[in-house]
Structure 1
Amino acid sequence: MKRRSFRKITTVLLAATLTLGLLAGCNGSKPADNKQEKVLRIGVLSGGYDDSYFRQQYTDVYEYTHQNIRIEVVPAIDQSQYRYSDGSEGYQQPDYLESMKKIMTGGNPVDIVVTDTSVLNQLIQENMLKQLDPLMQEDKFDTSDFVPAVIDGIKDLGDGKLYGLTPSFSSSALFYNKKIFTDAGVEPPTDKMTWDDIFNLARRVSKGEGKDRVYGFAFSRYQGSDPFYDMQYNYVNALQLKTYDDKAETMTVSSPQWIKVWETMTKLVKDKIIPDSSVGMSDGAMDQWTPISGDLFLSGKVAMTIGENYYINEIVDANNNAAKIKNYKAVDWDVVTVPVHPEKPDVGGNIWLSNTFAINSAAPNPETAWDFIKFINSEDWAKLRSRGNSYEMVARKSYIEPKQGLDYNIQAFYLLKPTPPTDPKDDKMLIEKPGLYSVTNVGRNYYQEVLENKKTPEEALKEWEEKGNKMLLEIKNNPKTQFQEDGTPFVPDESGASGVKY
């Protein structure tokens, strides 16, 4: 959504407070009188250019209804520094955890932190956040209307205790084309189907040859997407398969479970049930470009695909403008939950809690911090926000409704529990040893060799393991070691530039 649209939303919110006084009473809050001004400092993971978007989304209305509160937004990572880089220093992955800890400590710590689940998890482990359960009990703050997947996802980070709350979330589901299933005489997918069930359905609805081929399933709707990444992100991660051991010293990919995954995935690609990265790129499609050419689902090339909740906006927009798009027919669609693995039938949702609000244990103004968090997680806030946010869904179930009066299975976006968060130690290790990203990425080369019938999955995984073990040894000898695309090691010099090759 464009910034101009958000300004309109904010105007509506402010108007609501003037005419109804609605938000002034959010969850028991009262309009503040003209006492001495108090500063509430909110730490965010990154920023530095312009904090107006964040303010419009979260703080403007609170400041309007609490005249004696002034909010400061403090970025842990100042992104503006990269704007003036000439590129000679190279790019260093920011350490978000350590940067956030810096603004949470010292002489002027922030009161509230806004983080994703990865950083939140680590801050909980280091006892840097205030537990919210006692505050919620004292104020009778009810979370029964919150989406269970959201609350449970946050509780999982704190061993069953709440250290943060989020007013909104993003999620994904399995979109399917009703007409393709009807034409094939096949029953469409349902919630909580296993991956094997979905792949079997995909085989039954796949049809055609060449540029007219209709594929049964795609991990991504985007033309030319990376099949290796799609497999890792959507399928392997849900199984919680590890590429290397907990110490990042030994590869673990040459196992029966990894072999089974690669056998399953590569067969689906070879049998043209799942499209490879070349689909749509070499059949003359670009000579007949339309606004939906790069979208495999909208262009009718796949029967099922995984998409985020905000993909609904794109489908609705395309359908509303169908008459203006050459050779396009409005898609009759619906959604079900993303597929699950039988070992974990209730887990598999890709739920993103990217703006979770928590109170710093060292907060100078903990009471005001809690009042703010109550405010933006209140029922009144959810009611207002549900009317205007196109990219996220509110966390309260009562105010989650289909877009524009449409009828679709909206529960599919929050019926499953999210995939468990990564271990904080793993996240920290990736920052300390950036070369580990390459250890995973080099697997793409071996996966491609299987797709090209140059190796069997077992042979390719064994070679990946051997190559990966050599790379891990380089990293063990020097944690700063990184790798070129072919796996050649180098150590960046002190400025972060390309470095010295071995």
Structure 2
Amino acid sequence: MQLNRRRGNGRKVKAGVAALVCALFVIAFIVVRPVSERISRLTGETSRDPDDRVDLEQPVRLKVVYPDEQIFMEKYGKSFMLRYPNVSFEVLTAVPGDPGIPLAESGSIKKMLNQQRPDVLLLNQESLGYLAAKNQLAALDSWIVRDRFDLQAFDSKVTDRLRQLGGGLLYGLAPEIERMGLFYNRDLFRSEGFAFPVSRMSWYDVLQTAARFQAEGGDGERIFGLSVYPRSTPGSLISLVAATLDLRMIDPVSRGLTLQAAGWRDVWTTVIGGYKNGYLAWETLPARNLFLEGKVAMSVQPFTFLSKLRESGGVSFDWDVVTEPVNPGSPDQSATFQIPMIYAVYAGSPSAKVAWELVKHINSPEIADQQIRDNREVPLLSRKQQLLERLRSSGVKADIDCFYELKPGASVSAPKDGVPAAFRSVFAGMMDGEAAQVLEGRKTVAEALQAMERQGGEALLHSRTEGR
């Protein structure tokens, strides 16, 4: 467009620009200010000064909940103190008299808040939701807006889940998540002429594929179709399949075990059949992993298994990974999605500004780089693109994007069954014992489930009593 150089037209242009600037200023005042005010009203922080920064001259001692003081200082504390030399830390590892780490049980968290009043809390999903509903946490939204903290760098499924737990607000940030994938040995599939696994397979399809591997390897050892994490035993596999199908362990009315329902019976029958027919690997030696030895075609493992595949130059076979098996009724959902460690600011903290700076530091791109660089087992970071780019640049060719493909499933998002964590490990061992008796022909599946319901119910009651 040609500019008109005549003076009269120049004045008109200037007047028009001035009017446009005024109009934009009015729009910004009308639109932007109410948005920031709405965030302030939601978070209850209407008096927070957006320029309110940490005073570097004022000594601050932050109380932080973390499982181990030395690990905390190495991972986060020392680097934070380089930026804020006026800050020192008191790391709270457990409630006095309580051997447990207070991040799993809401009761332990409540006890710690009353006794020690920490500034930064380390929570799981259940505890975050509990404390957010009790107004015990500081909402982070206005700080995020003020500091232009880039939430877009995080996997949206993680922040969506955290907002869901907070009733629409962010009360915590999580640098890492956990989720499983289906790793497979491409060489074994090629040698048999079978099609490679694909993402979003059902457990039925995975087990049918596993059943095709019932041959001996070149060294005379058996080749299995499938193994699972953490120990490849019937109890672990039954638990995974049941979680995917959203089978409930606890009756909501009686609060007792309910294992004789048709769904549980079908899972047990299918899994036990796989072990009987020899295509499911039962690994009895904890130090041995048959998939890494090239003896298993597929294995359901967490993201950190990727590091084992790359250790000491990597395994001798070609491999890849797809999403974990899914429920055909909800093929976009993950049954293993977990946010194990969420960092939050206690609402009653006298040093809330500094506490937020620490939460921000723990979730920063610099710390994410450190996690990738220094960890023997690289965790699945919430900063999705940063992790993918770094691993690809280091030579990883597998389809690791699949670990970010699924969203939290119903069994993950729903409240827990009310099953104490200690009981779950006892119960898995109990399942392995009953499965062995079925395989040996000493019990039927129906008899095993009946025994599990009775014995497991007694153990559950004991765990609840001990947890009071």
Q: If the TM-score is normalised by the length of the shorter chain, which range does it land in?
A: 0.7 to 0.9
Out of 82, 85, 95, the position equivalent to 1:64 is 82
Out of 451, 474, 485, the position equivalent to 2:439 is 451
Bigger mean CA deviation after superposition, 377-386 or 367-376:
377-386
Bigger mean CA deviation after superposition, 263-272 or 64-73:
64-73
> 1:10-29 CA distances to partner (integer Å, 9 max, x unpaired)?
xxxxxxxxxxxxxxxxxx99
Compare the two structures and name the one with the higher helix fraction: 2
Out of 334, 338, 342, the position equivalent to 2:328 is 342
Aligned CA distance change for structure 1 residues 296 and 221 (closer, same or farther; 3 Å): farther
Q: Which letter does structure 1 place at the counterpart of 2:83?
A: T
The answer on 1:272 being equivalent to 2:260 is no
Q: Does the CA-based 8 Å contact 1:336-1:409 persist in structure 2?
A: yes
The two structures have a TM-score, normalised by structure 1, of 0.71
Q: Does the CA-based 8 Å contact 1:174-1:337 persist in structure 2?
A: yes
Q: Does the CA-based 8 Å contact 2:283-2:289 persist in structure 1?
A: no
Out of 106, 130, 133, the position equivalent to 2:141 is 133
Q: Does the CA-based 8 Å contact 1:186-1:205 persist in structure 2?
A: no
Aligned CA distance change for structure 1 residues 198 and 119 (closer, same or farther; 3 Å): same
* CA–CA distance in structure 2, aligned partners of residues 319 and 221 of structure 1: 24
Partner of 2:408: 418
Q: Which letter does structure 2 place at the counterpart of 1:300?
A: G
Out of 303, 306, 312, the position equivalent to 2:306 is 312
* CA–CA distance in structure 1, aligned partners of residues 139 and 52 of structure 2: 24
Q: Does the CA-based 8 Å contact 1:171-1:413 persist in structure 2?
A: yes
Out of 60, 72, 90, the position equivalent to 1:38 is 60
Partner of 2:288: 294
Aligned CA distance change for structure 1 residues 132 and 247 (closer, same or farther; 3 Å): farther
Quote the offset at 1:183 in angstroms: 0.6
Quote the offset at 1:370 in angstroms: 1.7
Partner of 1:97: 106
Larger Rg: 2
Partner of 1:176: 184
Unaligned runs of 5+ in 1: 1-27, 83-90, 282-291, 321-328, 483-502
Aligned CA distance change for structure 1 residues 481 and 62 (closer, same or farther; 3 Å): closer
Bigger mean CA deviation after superposition, 34-43 or 379-388:
379-388
Q: Does the CA-based 8 Å contact 2:338-2:412 persist in structure 1?
A: no
Quote the offset at 1:177 in angstroms: 0.5
> 1:270-292 CA distances to partner (integer Å, 9 max, x unpaired)?
111212346xx7xxxxxxxxxx9
Q: Does the CA-based 8 Å contact 1:121-1:158 persist in structure 2?
A: yes
Q: Which letter does structure 2 place at the counterpart of 1:117?
A: Q
> 1:108-161 CA distances to partner (integer Å, 9 max, x unpaired)?
621110123343333334332222234334444331221133223323433443
* CA–CA distance in structure 2, aligned partners of residues 273 and 109 of structure 1: 53
> 1:354-375 CA distances to partner (integer Å, 9 max, x unpaired)?
3210111211122222222223
* CA–CA distance in structure 2, aligned partners of residues 193 and 333 of structure 1: 18
RMSD over aligned Cα atoms: 3.7
Out of 223, 226, 246, the position equivalent to 2:233 is 226
The answer on 1:460 being equivalent to 2:448 is yes
Partner of 2:194: 186
Quote the offset at 1:73 in angstroms: 1.5
> 1:196-228 CA distances to partner (integer Å, 9 max, x unpaired)?
221222123332389521111111385xx4321
Q: Where does 1:43-442 land on structure 2 (aligned, <5 Å)?
A: 43-44=65-66, 46-47=67-68, 51-77=69-95, 96-105=105-114, 109-208=117-216, 212-220=221-229, 225-232=232-239, 234-246=240-252, 249-277=255-283, 294-320=288-314, 330-348=316-334, 350-391=336-377, 392-401=379-388, 402=391, 404-419=394-409, 420-421=411-412, 426-427=417-418, 430=420, 442=430
Partner of 1:480: 465
The two structures have a TM-score, normalised by structure 2, of 0.76
Quote the offset at 1:93 in angstroms: 11
Q: Identity of counterpart residues, as a percentage? A: 27
Match of 1:144, SS?
Answer: helix
* CA–CA distance in structure 2, aligned partners of residues 441 and 293 of structure 1: 18
* CA–CA distance in structure 1, aligned partners of residues 305 and 424 of structure 2: 32
Quote the offset at 1:262 in angstroms: 1.0
Q: Which letter does structure 1 place at the counterpart of 2:78?
A: D
* CA–CA distance in structure 2, aligned partners of residues 161 and 450 of structure 1: 49
Q: Does the CA-based 8 Å contact 1:32-1:65 persist in structure 2?
A: no
* CA–CA distance in structure 2, aligned partners of residues 145 and 214 of structure 1: 42
Q: Does the CA-based 8 Å contact 1:435-1:480 persist in structure 2?
A: no
Q: Which letter does structure 1 place at the counterpart of 2:198?
A: T
> 1:322-371 CA distances to partner (integer Å, 9 max, x unpaired)?
xxxxxxx7121111111111122122253443321011121112222222
* CA–CA distance in structure 2, aligned partners of residues 362 and 479 of structure 1: 30
Q: Which letter does structure 2 place at the counterpart of 1:38?
A: V
Bigger mean CA deviation after superposition, 365-374 or 253-262:
365-374
Q: Does the CA-based 8 Å contact 1:449-1:455 persist in structure 2?
A: yes
Match of 2:290, SS?
Answer: coil
Q: Does the CA-based 8 Å contact 1:348-1:418 persist in structure 2?
A: yes
Q: Does the CA-based 8 Å contact 1:104-1:362 persist in structure 2?
A: no
Q: Does the CA-based 8 Å contact 1:351-1:418 persist in structure 2?
A: yes
Q: Where does 1:8-23 land on structure 2 (aligned, <5 Å)?
A: none
Quote the offset at 1:166 in angstroms: 1.3
Partner of 2:25: none
Quote the offset at 1:319 in angstroms: 4.0
> 1:296-333 CA distances to partner (integer Å, 9 max, x unpaired)?
0121211010222222222222445xxxxxxxx71211
Q: Does the CA-based 8 Å contact 1:243-1:253 persist in structure 2?
A: yes
Match of 1:358, SS?
Answer: strand
Quote the offset at 1:249 in angstroms: 4.3
Quote the offset at 1:34 in angstroms: 4.6
Quote the offset at 1:380 in angstroms: 4.2
Quote the offset at 1:71 in angstroms: 2.5
Bigger mean CA deviation after superposition, 30-39 or 366-375:
30-39
